[in-house]
Structure 1
Amino acid sequence: MDNRDAIGSWLSGPRAAAEQMGVEFGYRGERLGLPEHGPGSVASIGRRVAALFVDWILCVVIAYGLIADRDVHLADNWALAVFGAVSLIGLALVGSTPGKMLLRLRVVGVDGTRLSPLGALIRTVLLLLVIPAVVWDRDTRGLHDKAAKAVQIRV
């Protein structure tokens, strides 16, 4: 092996190096028994980020509407509180937030059932901490989803 091969495997990451050695990882959600494409498959990262963006904008608008004549910096804190409330209530009641509904996503338990209120609470608290949400496994489930035993799927 020359130095270019070693550097190439280092730059492309461990998954690419393992695939070059013949390891097959399968598609996202295969280990969970989900289909590869279509309804019920693991939601793409782009859709999930877009849904998060829609939810955040909605919560900022609500927070600024509630705190319109007061301190603007206080509204930023309220936006986070509103975001947490919208996420918790939406996930516990219907398994979705307004942004997820718009982009046709749903959060369900790994077994396919609706997420429990405790699962919704765990997921929401960890989502508000941000870091658990950006650490993913190979099925692109964040630590917040793993802790709540949840997965985001396409509807």
Structure 2
Amino acid sequence: MAGYGRRLGALVLDWVIALAIAAVLAGALHVGAQTRSLLTLLVFGVMAWLLTGSIGTTVGKRLCGLRVVRVGGGPVGPLWAFVRALLLVLVVPALIWDRDHRGLHDRAANAVVVRI
């Protein structure tokens, strides 16, 4: 199981990537600061959903040597990756951890973040 440090590092990297993408989109769409913040959150959620659902890792997780898998070891899949990403964007479930370092978003998707 992945520890807090690597997971936090991956989160920061993914957030920076989402900020950069949202900045480009906000410039192209000519939106204000509040809309840009929501756009960043949307980009972050879509990245987490699509990348986790398809390849089992985000760019930040990959750089930190992490992968998201089902508890049994298989891929998370697009549906459960969507549930996980939606709860992750809501933030509160991700802040509640169990002794295995799993947030509520991981538990809801029956997933775990492991080191590669």
Same fold (TM over 0.5): yes
Residue in structure 1 matched with residue 52 of structure 2 by the alignment? 91
1:1-155 to 2 correspondence within 5 Å?
A: 42-68=1-27, 69-155=30-116
2:2 aligned partner, one-letter code: A
Determine the C-alpha separation between the residues in 2 that align with 1:87 and 1:114.
Answer: 14
Determine the C-alpha separation between the residues in 2 that align with 1:132 and 1:154.
Answer: 21
Tell me how far 1:70 sits from its aligned partner: 3.3
Return the structure number with greater relative CO, CA threshold 8 A, min gap 6. Answer: 2
Determine the C-alpha separation between the residues in 2 that align with 1:142 and 1:73.
Answer: 28
- Other structure's SS at 1:100 match: helix
TM-score, normalised by the number of residues in structure 1: 0.71
Moved over 4 A (4+): none
Determine the C-alpha separation between the residues in 1 that align with 2:38 and 2:31.
Answer: 13
Determine the C-alpha separation between the residues in 1 that align with 2:31 and 2:49.
Answer: 26
Greater helix share, structure number = 2
Determine the C-alpha separation between the residues in 2 that align with 1:73 and 1:144.
Answer: 26
TM-score, normalised by the number of residues in structure 2: 0.95
Listed as ranges, the gaps of 5+ residues in structure 1 are 1-41
Alignment: residue pair count: 114
> Aligned-residue CA RMSD in angstroms?
0.9
Structure with the greater alpha carbon radius of gyration? 1
Q: Percent of aligned positions with the same letter in both sequences?
A: 44
